[in-house]
Each structure stands twice: as C-alpha cells, then as structure tokens.
Amino acid sequence: MSLATIATATDTSPTLAVCERDLTAYLDQIWRDHFADLPHVNDVRIGYCYPWKSRLGLIRLSLDQMTSFIGINSLLQFQQVPEYVLTTTIAHELTHYAHGFGSPLPRLWKHPHANKVVDRELERRELGEQLRCCTEWIDKQWYPFYDMQRESGWVGILGAYRPAQRNRKMGC
C-alpha cells in the first residue's frame, strides 16, 4: 500500500489527506514478511489510538493473556506521514511482542529497550533501512507535523479515539 503523494510537515493546506491504511493488513504483511518465525501465541489486535506527541505506538497484554493489543498513533493515518513510519512502528511493537513484552512469550530482556535490542532486532529482520528513514523523518518532521495537527483541532482523524485512561486494561 504505497502512498501516491507525500507532503512535508510544512504543508499548510487547510484539509490534510487521510488515507485508508488497513492496520490489520499491515500487521499481517509485516508478520508474514519479517516475523514468520514468531509464533502467534494469542490473539493480536491492532487499532488507532490517541494522537500522542511522544509515542507512535504501544503494545499491551490483557489480564487473561488471551489478547495483545497494538495501539497506533492516529496521526499515522495522514498521507503526510510516510508509509515507512507506520510499518516501522508496527514492526517495533511486534519486536516487543517477540521479546515477551505485551505478549505471553517469555521475556528475553529486563527492559524493553535495553542496549538497543529493538533496533538490533529490526536490523536482523531486514528492516534497518526503514528504521533509519523513520528515525530521520521523526527527527526532522514529527514535531512540526504534530503541532500543525493539534492547532487544527485534530481535523481529519478517522475513527474515534479516547484519551488514555489509567484504569483501562486494553485498548487506548
């Protein structure tokens, strides 16, 4: 699912294009192409969440361990956000799943980002170039893009989103 056009974060057009990015299809393709060795040990769901400023995604495990939920920042729906940012974010969360964070699998590390284990895993799974492009785009474009969306009142975000609540066990 490639994007026809990608505008920069400095695009000030009043209506920003939101594209139909089927998260389940992305998850399935990334799992098949880069995580084929990773077992599906529970139900893994994915959906858009709140437009966080400093988080692109999250993964949570239900109390009964039957479901893992991957939440994706709803701003990743916009065409102005390159597709590799979305795919890298989903792959990042799948790496946490593989390492036992947000999944019933045994934890491989004490901390989810210790010693750049996520970056090294993405490199190992042939996602290193996407990770580098994603990091560069985030460093140069994310905060201006975020600020522009916030100032617009989140116009154009598809689907409902809820602010994160501390008492919620699943979802956003």
Predicted local distance difference test score (pLDDT) of residue 8: 35
pTM: 0.84
pLDDT band at 6 (very low <50, low <70, confident <90, very high): very low
Buried-exposed string 35-46: b where 16+ CB fall within 10 A, e elsewhere: beeeeeebebbb
* C-alpha–C-alpha distance, residues 162 and 41, integer Å: 28
Identify the band that residue 19 occupies on the pLDDT scale cut at 50, 70 and 90: confident
3-7, 15-19, 74-78, 156-160: which is most confident: 74-78
Q: Go through the domains of the chain in sequence order and give each one's CATH number.
A: 23-151 (3.30.2010.10)
DSSP result, 56-72: SEEEEE-TTSSEEEEEE
pLDDT digits (tens, 9 = 90+) for 33-75: 999 999 999 999 999 999 999 999 999 999 999 999 999 999 9
Please count the other Cβ atoms lying within 10 Å of the Cβ belonging to residue 117: 16
Tens of pLDDT, residue by residue over 95-121, are 999 999 999 999 999 999 999 999 999
